[in-house]
Amino acid sequence: MPSNKSVSDAPIVQFTNCRILRDHQLQREDLWVREGKILNPEKLFFDEKGSADVQLDCKDSIIAPGFIDVQINGGFGVDFSLATDDFKSGIDLVSQKILSHGVTSFCPTLVTSPPSVYHQILPQISVRNGGAHGAGILGAHLEGPFISKEKKGAHPEHCLRTFEAGAFQDLLATYGSLDCVQIVTLAPEMRRSSEVIQELTSRGICVSLGHSVANLSQAEEAVQHGATFITHLFNAMLPFHHRDPGIVGLLTSDKIPAGRRVFYGMISDGIHTNPAALRIAHRAHPKGLVLVTDAIAGMGLAPGRHTLGQQVVEIDGLNTYIAGTKTLSGSVATMDTCVRHFQEATGCSVETALEAASLHPAQLLGIEHKKGTLNYDSDADFLMLNDNLYVQATYIAGEEVWRQDASGM
């Protein structure tokens, strides 16, 4: 059909025979894409008198926004906390490989490390769009070193720090630069954390609470100063107690400032959190749940020993422990596995499971106007999935960047 575009000459692609996730529901609608963005077909039809150049039959797939992983420490042998000579090619490798897991944007995460490591690595991370080369990088997630000794988990104790002396200046000196940092995880019970949280928030950096022994009021104060996220809920924090719910209590706290929402990361690999606990959290605060992988270098590789920053971890099936201990350290789960497991464990709808990995992380980072949805004018980062939520194809900016081949690899 001849198209008659007055606004742009770029080709228009119409994805038909699919169900798209829009307005929190799977709707039987076509998806229209032009110049890397989702296009409004009604406007195209009436205002531009345009029509599609290419029509693709999606064979009744589900089309969902691409997944966003805000906590991933590495994978396929690459460790984001290890300052190697070929760090850049490492991050490129991971960003390319996770396309097959449905991840179209991610925050490379660095665990607690000595300042020299941050100074070497951070300048090599840059915010960039995704494409055929790999998933987009939204910015780094710095998990530590300003965390609690009692809840360090897999983080090395000798690298933990406080910012008692110089507050924000200490933090800046430790990291070196905050240019491409998107999220910082810290323990809010540390002295002067409020100023630090305020300063980070004013710079547009998302502050997350984790690896902490804070009680509920300390956590609420942190939220009032700007914190909006909880790092892997339940793990590395005080357990829920009915007279002091701790950080977990933020899910139902009534002291959250109006108009704000607290989000919380969940590693739904079946190991980090018992499904019953996952259900409790989900039911208490469904709109805040953000699926993360917390994947480490061993993800995607055979079982055995791998590094995680300054530590050595051992992988045995889906379990990953600090070598020689029973301390969990990250996971080897992939994002699509987490989405499927979350859906099974909670019995939630397909839409809810998909939104926990796309819409909610986008809302957390304040980018839902361009990522995390299939709304008109959003970036056309999306996935084709079958009914069992297995990713069949990944698209970034409207271009296919990965497809499941027929052999099922």
Partner 1 sequence: MKLIILENYSQASEWAAKYIRNRIVQFGPGPGRFFTLGLPTGLPRDHPESYHSFMWNNFFKHIDISPENVHILDGNAPDLQAECDAFEEKIKAAGGIELFVGGIGPDGHIAFNEPGSSLVSRTRVKTLAMDTILANARFFDGDLSKVPTMALTVGVGTVMDSREVMILITGAHKAFALYKAIEDGVNHMWTVSAFQQHPNTVFVCDEDATLELKVKTVKYFKGLMLVHNKLVEPLYSMKEMGAERSQSKKPYSD
Q: Which residues are annotated as a binding site?
A: 143, 154, 211, 232, 235-236, 243, 272, 328-330
H or E segment to which residue 89 belongs: helix 87-97
> Which of 17, 46, 124, 203 touches partner 1 by CB under 8 A?
46
Q: Does 215 bind partner 1 (CB under 8 A)?
A: no
| Phi and psi at residue 136, to the nearest 5° | -75, 150
Q: Which residues carry a binding-site annotation for substrate?
A: 154, 235-236, 243, 272, 328-330
Residue 153 and residue 178 in contact, taking contact as beta carbons nearer than 8 Å: no
> Which residue from 299, 297, 222 is spatially nearest to 253, judged by alpha carbons?
222
Residues linked to residue 79 through DSSP beta bridges, in sequence order: 74
Q: Which residues carry a binding-site annotation for Zn(2+)?
A: 143, 211, 232
Of residues 25-44, those binding partner 1 (CB under 8 A): 30, 41-43
Residue 372 DSSP symbol: S
Minimum Å distance from CB 48 to partner 1? 8
Q: Which stretch binds partner 1 (CB under 8 A): 47-55, 68-76, 149-157, 306-314?
A: 47-55
**Annotation marks residue 294 as catalytic:** yes
> Which of 23, 24, 49, 204 touches partner 1 by CB under 8 A?
49
Q: Compute the distance between CA of residue 17 and CA of residue 154 in angstroms, rounded to an integer.
A: 47
H or E segment to which residue 320 belongs: strand 319-322
List Cβ neighbours of 231 (8 Å cut-off, separation of 6 or more): 71, 143, 185, 208, 209, 210, 211, 265
Q: Compute the distance between CA of residue 24 and CA of residue 62 in angstroms, rounded to an integer.
A: 13
Exactly one of 294, 336, 379, 381 is catalytic; which is it?
294
Minimum Å distance from CB 50 to partner 1? 7
Q: Does 1 bind partner 1 (CB under 8 A)?
A: yes
Q: Which stretch binds partner 1 (CB under 8 A): 48-56, 204-212, 264-272, 345-353?
A: 48-56
Residue 175's CB is within 10 A of a number of other CB atoms, namely 22
Minimum Å distance from CB 11 to partner 1? 17
Closest to partner 1 by CB, 42 vs 387, is 42
> Which residue from 63, 103, 9, 126 is spatially nearest to 338, judged by alpha carbons?
103
Catalytic residue numbers read 294
Q: Which residues bind partner 1 (CB under 8 A)?
A: 1-2, 4, 30, 41-43, 45-51
